[in-house]
Amino acid sequence: MIETIAIARGPYRAELITLGAALRVLQVPDRNGARANVVLGFANLEDYRGTPRFYGAVTGRYANRIGGALFTLDGVEHRIAANDGANSLHSGPMGLDQQHWDVVALTEDAVTFRHVSPAGHNGFPGSLTVEARYKLEDDGLAILLTATTDAPTVVNLTNHAYFNLGGEASGTTILDHVLRISSSRTTPVGPGLIPTGAFADVSGTPFDFRVPRRVGERIDADDAQLRLGHGYDHNFVIDGAPRCVATLFDPGSGRVLDLHSGEPGLQFYSGNHLAGGPPGTSGRVYAARDGLCLEPQKFPDSPNRPGFPSARLDPGQVYRHDIAFRFRTAAGLEEAFPG
């Protein structure tokens, strides 16, 4: 049975479920103090089973794609489960998003989930113990993802929340949201959205979000990468040290999201394939681009790309990924994007 856990602090309220340790509801005030849920999810908890949307879930063991559904570690080839054509997406069917997680700690404003993924699950080596801690703070939600293993393996964990800062029930798309990403390069993809191994400068392309731009401004541009993704579904190489990697602003509500992470990449997905499916938490069926994902993580296909940051985890090491969704409000662009 899927259980629901609610936590609250100040103006913020979150609802999470034990399937996938998923964030189902996150209520955030607008510039007038009115609260609304800003993440997408299903109205019926049972719809979280088997529907490949990953709403708010912890994805892994390896978030994003691994080309050919295989990788080699210490000279041993590991064939993992394919679920995206010939490739593995978020570690194949029955990944962490489809697993039951135990609640191991709970307070008014925080909850910690734990799951043990057995050795060989979906083809991955090593038994992996994963914890996900969600804590509401004075300015939003902090997520701590940790993992340990008993054998060398690869790990890449993130949270797969779909945001609409206008509100999940608003009926608006995210095309008028304004986005800034601290990235001067992407990892371009080929067929199946698998990275080619190259790096591409964003200058002069629809992928340049170093200055704030409307998400919809160039989403339908005549660009080979956008055609492959049917919009944005690409990894951005984050510039600099642990920091605010992206800022998202909804001019209508005044809500601003500052995303913090220390990971080297950020997958920006513009919700291109959201149309249809079971009703969302407000009871309406979502349309394409009703939400977007900003997923900090290792690069896609890193286990097969020596030139990418390593995703290896060995016994005795602790994988740690700190994510913070920090919220504020702004009257306009200058206030939303100071400096």
Residues carrying an active site annotation: 160, 295
Query: Coil, strand or helix: which one is 33?
Result: coil
Question: What DSSP character marks residue 147?
Answer: E
> Measured between alpha carbons, how far is 327 from 339 in angstroms, rounded to an integer?
18
Q: How many residues does the chain have?
A: 339
Q: Compute φ and ψ for 225, nearest 5 degrees.
A: -70, -40
* Helix (H), strand (E) at residue 336: helix 333-336
Buried (b) or exposed (e) across 286-323, using 16+ Cβ within 10 A? Answer: bebbbbbbbbbbbbbbbbbbeebeebbbeeeeebebbb
Residue 1: partners with Cβ closer than 8 Å, 6 or more residues away? none
Among 264, 226, 227, 222, which Cα is nearest to 245's?
264
> Measured between alpha carbons, how far is 245 from 210 in angstroms, rounded to an integer?
10
> Measured between alpha carbons, how far is 228 from 212 in angstroms, rounded to an integer?
24
Tell me which residue has tokens 């579904």: 233
Residue 306: partners with Cβ closer than 8 Å, 6 or more residues away? none
Query: Coil, strand or helix: which one is 27?
Result: strand
